[in-house]
Amino acid sequence: MSDVFCILDDVQFSTNDFTHRNKIKSARGPLIITVPILRSGHFEKRIMDMEIDNKIKWKKIHWNSILASYGKKAPYFECYKDFFEMAYKTSWDKILDLDLYFLQYLFKELGITVKIVKSSEMNIQSDKSDKLMEICDHQDADIYISGELGRDYIDKKKFDENGIKLHFQNYQHPVYTQLYGEFCSHMSVIDLLFNHGEKCYDILTMNNPKKGDLIKKFTL
Protein backbone atom coordinates (compact mmCIF):
# COMPACT_ATOMS: atom_id res chain seq x y z
CA MET A 1 0.00 0.00 0.00
CA SER A 2 2.92 2.35 0.58
CA ASP A 3 5.32 4.32 -1.59
CA VAL A 4 8.11 4.06 1.00
CA PHE A 5 8.85 1.08 3.26
CA CYS A 6 11.00 2.03 6.26
CA ILE A 7 12.98 -0.61 8.13
CA LEU A 8 13.42 0.37 11.78
CA ASP A 9 16.93 -1.03 12.01
CA ASP A 10 18.13 1.32 14.77
CA VAL A 11 15.61 0.15 17.36
CA GLN A 12 16.38 -2.45 20.02
CA PHE A 13 16.46 -6.06 18.90
CA SER A 14 13.85 -8.33 20.48
CA THR A 15 14.05 -12.11 20.63
CA ASN A 16 10.24 -12.23 20.54
CA ASP A 17 9.92 -10.65 17.09
CA PHE A 18 10.22 -12.26 13.67
CA THR A 19 13.42 -10.40 12.76
CA HIS A 20 15.37 -13.67 12.82
CA ARG A 21 12.72 -16.37 12.45
CA ASN A 22 9.69 -17.42 10.46
CA LYS A 23 7.28 -20.30 9.95
CA ILE A 24 6.92 -22.70 7.04
CA LYS A 25 4.32 -25.43 6.63
CA SER A 26 5.75 -28.92 6.85
CA ALA A 27 4.02 -32.28 6.57
CA ARG A 28 3.73 -32.19 10.38
CA GLY A 29 2.30 -28.68 10.48
CA PRO A 30 3.87 -25.25 11.11
CA LEU A 31 7.63 -25.37 11.60
CA ILE A 32 9.64 -22.45 13.00
CA ILE A 33 13.03 -21.88 11.35
CA THR A 34 15.37 -19.53 13.21
CA VAL A 35 18.61 -17.75 12.36
CA PRO A 36 20.74 -18.03 15.52
CA ILE A 37 21.94 -14.73 16.96
CA LEU A 38 25.06 -14.08 19.04
CA ARG A 39 23.55 -13.37 22.44
CA SER A 40 26.34 -11.46 24.18
CA GLY A 41 24.95 -8.05 25.12
CA HIS A 42 22.02 -8.34 22.74
CA PHE A 43 19.63 -6.59 25.15
CA GLU A 44 21.45 -3.32 24.50
CA LYS A 45 21.95 -3.82 20.77
CA ARG A 46 20.04 -2.44 17.83
CA ILE A 47 18.76 -4.67 15.03
CA MET A 48 21.43 -3.30 12.69
CA ASP A 49 24.17 -4.50 15.07
CA MET A 50 22.94 -8.06 15.60
CA GLU A 51 25.39 -10.70 14.41
CA ILE A 52 24.53 -14.20 13.28
CA ASP A 53 25.97 -17.15 15.21
CA ASN A 54 27.52 -19.05 12.33
CA LYS A 55 28.94 -21.73 14.59
CA ILE A 56 25.47 -23.26 14.33
CA LYS A 57 24.74 -24.90 10.93
CA TRP A 58 21.51 -22.97 10.50
CA LYS A 59 21.75 -22.59 6.72
CA LYS A 60 21.81 -26.36 6.22
CA ILE A 61 18.91 -26.78 8.63
CA HIS A 62 16.82 -24.13 6.87
CA TRP A 63 17.46 -25.37 3.37
CA ASN A 64 16.84 -29.02 4.23
CA SER A 65 13.58 -28.05 5.97
CA ILE A 66 12.45 -26.03 2.94
CA LEU A 67 13.37 -28.85 0.55
CA ALA A 68 11.54 -31.44 2.63
CA SER A 69 8.42 -29.25 2.90
CA TYR A 70 8.15 -27.91 -0.65
CA GLY A 71 10.80 -29.45 -2.90
CA LYS A 72 8.85 -32.21 -4.64
CA LYS A 73 5.32 -31.03 -3.89
CA ALA A 74 4.85 -27.27 -4.29
CA PRO A 75 3.90 -26.44 -7.91
CA TYR A 76 6.07 -23.31 -8.20
CA PHE A 77 9.08 -24.40 -6.13
CA GLU A 78 11.33 -24.94 -9.15
CA CYS A 79 10.68 -21.36 -10.34
CA TYR A 80 12.35 -19.90 -7.24
CA LYS A 81 14.63 -22.72 -6.08
CA ASP A 82 17.88 -21.32 -7.50
CA PHE A 83 17.63 -18.01 -5.64
CA PHE A 84 16.98 -19.60 -2.26
CA GLU A 85 19.57 -22.31 -2.73
CA MET A 86 22.20 -19.68 -3.52
CA ALA A 87 21.07 -17.52 -0.56
CA TYR A 88 21.79 -20.43 1.76
CA LYS A 89 25.20 -20.97 0.20
CA THR A 90 26.17 -17.32 0.78
CA SER A 91 28.01 -16.17 3.92
CA TRP A 92 26.05 -13.82 6.19
CA ASP A 93 27.34 -11.97 9.26
CA LYS A 94 24.49 -9.59 10.15
CA ILE A 95 20.80 -10.48 10.36
CA LEU A 96 19.85 -7.13 8.77
CA ASP A 97 21.82 -7.89 5.60
CA LEU A 98 20.15 -11.28 5.28
CA ASP A 99 16.68 -9.84 5.87
CA LEU A 100 17.21 -7.09 3.29
CA TYR A 101 18.46 -9.59 0.71
CA PHE A 102 15.31 -11.69 1.03
CA LEU A 103 13.02 -8.66 1.28
CA GLN A 104 14.24 -7.03 -1.92
CA TYR A 105 13.92 -10.27 -3.86
CA LEU A 106 10.44 -11.03 -2.52
CA PHE A 107 9.14 -7.52 -3.30
CA LYS A 108 10.34 -7.96 -6.87
CA GLU A 109 8.80 -11.40 -7.30
CA LEU A 110 5.50 -10.35 -5.71
CA GLY A 111 5.25 -7.35 -8.02
CA ILE A 112 5.43 -4.81 -5.18
CA THR A 113 7.10 -1.54 -6.21
CA VAL A 114 8.24 0.36 -3.15
CA LYS A 115 11.26 2.39 -2.07
CA ILE A 116 13.08 0.74 0.85
CA VAL A 117 14.81 2.99 3.38
CA LYS A 118 16.47 2.39 6.75
CA SER A 119 15.77 4.58 9.77
CA SER A 120 19.45 4.46 10.73
CA GLU A 121 20.28 6.51 7.64
CA MET A 122 18.16 9.43 8.84
CA ASN A 123 20.05 10.13 12.11
CA ILE A 124 16.85 10.50 14.15
CA GLN A 125 17.45 10.48 17.92
CA SER A 126 13.86 10.49 19.22
CA ASP A 127 11.75 7.41 19.90
CA LYS A 128 8.17 6.09 19.85
CA SER A 129 5.63 8.37 18.12
CA ASP A 130 8.16 11.19 17.74
CA LYS A 131 10.51 8.90 15.84
CA LEU A 132 7.77 7.71 13.48
CA MET A 133 6.64 11.28 12.87
CA GLU A 134 10.19 12.46 12.11
CA ILE A 135 10.68 9.58 9.68
CA CYS A 136 7.50 10.66 7.88
CA ASP A 137 8.80 14.22 7.76
CA HIS A 138 12.18 13.06 6.47
CA GLN A 139 10.46 11.19 3.63
CA ASP A 140 7.96 14.00 2.91
CA ALA A 141 5.09 11.63 3.74
CA ASP A 142 1.55 12.83 4.36
CA ILE A 143 0.12 9.40 5.29
CA TYR A 144 1.55 6.89 7.77
CA ILE A 145 0.41 3.27 7.55
CA SER A 146 0.55 1.38 10.83
CA GLY A 147 -0.41 -2.10 11.88
CA GLU A 148 -3.63 -2.38 13.88
CA LEU A 149 -1.67 -2.70 17.16
CA GLY A 150 -0.25 0.80 16.57
CA ARG A 151 -3.44 2.17 18.10
CA ASP A 152 -2.05 1.13 21.49
CA TYR A 153 1.06 3.30 21.39
CA ILE A 154 0.89 5.92 18.60
CA ASP A 155 0.06 9.44 19.75
CA LYS A 156 -2.52 10.41 17.12
CA LYS A 157 -2.65 14.02 18.35
CA LYS A 158 1.00 14.59 17.40
CA PHE A 159 0.36 13.31 13.88
CA ASP A 160 -2.71 15.51 13.53
CA GLU A 161 -0.72 18.56 14.66
CA ASN A 162 1.89 17.87 11.98
CA GLY A 163 -0.62 17.23 9.18
CA ILE A 164 0.19 13.54 8.81
CA LYS A 165 -2.82 11.28 8.35
CA LEU A 166 -2.85 7.91 10.12
CA HIS A 167 -4.13 4.69 8.62
CA PHE A 168 -4.31 1.60 10.83
CA GLN A 169 -4.18 -1.39 8.56
CA ASN A 170 -6.59 -4.15 9.56
CA TYR A 171 -5.02 -6.76 7.31
CA GLN A 172 -7.36 -9.58 6.28
CA HIS A 173 -5.29 -12.73 5.87
CA PRO A 174 -6.27 -14.57 2.67
CA VAL A 175 -7.04 -18.28 2.59
CA TYR A 176 -5.27 -20.07 -0.26
CA THR A 177 -4.52 -23.61 -1.36
CA GLN A 178 -1.65 -25.11 0.66
CA LEU A 179 0.05 -28.45 0.94
CA TYR A 180 -0.73 -30.88 3.75
CA GLY A 181 -4.43 -30.48 4.36
CA GLU A 182 -6.10 -27.88 6.54
CA PHE A 183 -5.07 -24.26 5.94
CA CYS A 184 -2.61 -22.67 8.37
CA SER A 185 -2.39 -18.87 8.38
CA HIS A 186 0.60 -16.60 8.97
CA MET A 187 3.24 -18.76 7.35
CA SER A 188 6.28 -17.19 5.71
CA VAL A 189 5.44 -15.63 2.36
CA ILE A 190 7.50 -18.39 0.69
CA ASP A 191 4.62 -20.76 1.49
CA LEU A 192 2.39 -18.62 -0.73
CA LEU A 193 5.14 -18.11 -3.31
CA PHE A 194 5.96 -21.80 -3.77
CA ASN A 195 2.27 -22.71 -3.99
CA HIS A 196 0.95 -19.92 -6.22
CA GLY A 197 3.81 -18.19 -8.05
CA GLU A 198 2.74 -15.20 -10.12
CA LYS A 199 -0.74 -15.21 -8.56
CA CYS A 200 0.62 -14.12 -5.15
CA TYR A 201 -0.06 -10.40 -5.42
CA ASP A 202 -3.71 -10.90 -6.36
CA ILE A 203 -4.12 -13.30 -3.43
CA LEU A 204 -2.44 -10.94 -0.93
CA THR A 205 -4.66 -8.02 -1.96
CA MET A 206 -7.82 -10.10 -2.36
CA ASN A 207 -9.58 -8.56 0.65
CA ASN A 208 -7.22 -5.64 1.28
CA PRO A 209 -6.56 -2.15 -0.15
CA LYS A 210 -4.00 -1.71 -2.92
CA LYS A 211 -1.52 1.11 -3.55
CA GLY A 212 -3.39 4.29 -4.35
CA ASP A 213 -6.51 3.35 -2.39
CA LEU A 214 -5.38 5.43 0.60
CA ILE A 215 -5.12 8.55 -1.54
CA LYS A 216 -8.76 8.08 -2.51
CA LYS A 217 -9.75 7.42 1.10
CA PHE A 218 -8.23 10.67 2.36
CA THR A 219 -9.19 12.92 -0.56
CA LEU A 220 -12.80 11.93 -1.13
State the DSSP string of 141-191. Answer: -SEEEEEGGGGGT--HHHHHHTT-EEEEE---PPP---SSSS---S--HHH
What pLDDT, on the 0 to 100 scale, is given for residue 15? Answer: 86
**How many CB atoms within 10 Å of residue 175?**
11
Every domain of the chain and the residues it spans: 12-112+185-208
d(CA 188, CA 210): 20
Burial 109-131 (b: 16+ CB within 10 A, else e): bbebeeeebebbeeebeeeebeb
State phi, psi for 129 to the nearest 5 degrees. -60, -35
Per-residue pLDDT for 207 more than 90? Answer: no
Confidence of residue 210 (pLDDT cuts 50, 70, 90): confident
Strands 29-34 and 21-26 come out as antiparallel
> How does pLDDT run across 90-124, given as a tens digit for each residue?
999 999 999 999 999 999 999 999 999 999 999 88
Gyration radius of the chain's alpha carbons:
19
Nearest to 35 by CA among 61, 16, 67, 8: 61
**What does the pLDDT look like over 21-48, one tens digit per residue?**
999 999 999 999 999 999 775 566 899 9
Has residue 206 got a pLDDT over 60?
A: yes
Q: Give this prediction's pTM.
A: 0.90
**Predicted pLDDT of residue 41:** 59
Q: How much of the chain exceeds pLDDT 70, in percent? A: 97
Top pLDDT among 151 and 192 is at 192
| pLDDT score recorded for residue 64 | 97
The Cα–Cα gap between 151 and 128 comes to 12
